[in-house]
Amino acid sequence: MSDLLWQLGAMETAELISKKDVSAREVIENHLERLTEVNPKINAITRSLNDAAMEMAILADEIISRNEQIGPLHGVPVTIKDNVDIIGQSSPNGLSKLKDKLAPANSPVVDNLLKAGAIPIGRTNTPEFSLRWHTGNPLFGDTINPWDKNITPGGSSGGAAASLAAGIGCIAHGNDLGGSLRYPAYCCGLTTIKPTQGTVPAFNPTAGEDRPPMMQLLSTQGPITRSINDARLAFNAMSRSDRRDPWWTPGFVQKQEKAGSTKIALAMETPGAPLADEVRQSLHNAGKILEAAGYIVEEISPPKIARCAEVWAGLIGTELRSVLRKAMDELGSSQISAALDFLESFHKECALPDYIRLGMERTQLMREWSVFLQEYEVIIGPVSNIRPFAPNEDIQTKERAKEIFSAHNLLVAVNLLGIPAATVCTGLQDDRPYGVQLIGWKYNEHLCLDLAQMIEDHVGRVAPIDPKIF
């Protein structure tokens, strides 16, 4: 069994360790062996943390032997995205010029995982500044989707998703400003919960200054996992308070025991790029599963999805150009410059009065969605309107970049509104995974996860896999 421990999820692994059926050392050794075996094929891990991980595993076993109290993730291997700080390590975020800048302390999300007993075994790849739909950079190269080298693993947490899909670690840390948890999970056949803004604390000790206001308000930290149960477990661990994040707010994940008369909106028609047949089938199947479980499922889309995406782009685009673009040009490569140029070409920088008005409009849009989600407690919608595209297709032409952005209108709308969304795999079509997202109002992570669990129970899990690299 010990040579197959990498196939188990976080909950199963933690239970085996707590019962002393396996040691933390055995688990970590097996995952590090898996990392060594498959990472050269997918380039998802930028650095293996072998020595530190083994030391932590030995200590974890000593704690077990003394029958001391342990955390819910005791001995569980996790990966940490390359854009949050681990003490004594760099967090280059895909940038060659930051590869030697060492962190003086851990990011809060890292501290929370450690407090829960998790053991980091590697750092995962991300595009420069974590601002692309595909994961690749000049420092570490492109990450390969283990399902198919001809499609992107997603971005910006593509390294996190690809490594987890290939059996490296049980939980992958990621973050989400415009879909960076949900899109990689979609591309790689995984699950995630994009939490309500502020429920998982965020801060990087290496940061010279805080991010612009909307980047703070629209971004969240969260887990990518291979099962909904693991997503629930990881989110609970990640969401502990940390006073370094003044935006932190408590969130609760509880199971709903019965369907009752809960109404669900099935968003079969979303603006932007036309729905691919595979996406439409995924939505249809998810709706049927929940309808059979006793929920009232109606085909209706939430209000003003396209406008939400436009407001997101206007706010983020303005902050990028007016506050960050100069530094990004100095630190980044032609890849990220192309991505930023494309974004700016169809969402121009706003003057200050217009930027303020967009912030005001955001409140109005939140109000409309709040009312909608009072009647329809959850929305089933696409993660992406299109099939996963080819690697680096997002920076080839302005026209294609705009098309890709429009395919993710609902994805970025969720970020604008600061609300939670779970992503769950709906199975394979043509040997590629597809999925949907389940969107709720603030602090309704529990309901999103409960419904996603029903879909997963019906469909089953598709990962981990051996990389299909031909």
Active site residue 156: yes
- CA-based nearest residue to 220, from 241, 184, 194: 194
Residue 108 CA to residue 248 CA, distance in Å, equals 11
Task: Report the Cα 156 to chain-centroid distance in Å.
Answer: 8
Query: 180, 219, 227, 282: which one is catalytic?
Result: 180
Omega cis (within 30) before 156: yes
Burial class (CB in 10 A: 0-12, 13-18, 19+), 119: buried
Answer whether 160's CB lies under 8 Å from 172's CB.
yes
Q: Is 81 a catalytic residue?
A: yes
Cβ atoms within 10 Å, residue 210: 11
Contact status, residue 123 vs residue 173, Cβ threshold 8 Å: no
Which residues, other chains included, contact 216 with Cβ-Cβ below 8 Å and sequence gap of 6+?
210, 247
Our measurement of the distance from residue 47's CA atom to the centroid of its chain's CA atoms, rounded to an integer in Å, reads: 20
C-alpha to C-alpha distance for 263 and 260, rounded to whole angstroms: 9
Dihedrals φ, ψ of 46, to 5°?
-85, -30
Which of 23, 156, 219, 282 is an active site residue? 156
The pair of structure tokens assigned to 19 is 């019962």
Q: Which positions are catalytic?
A: 81, 156, 180
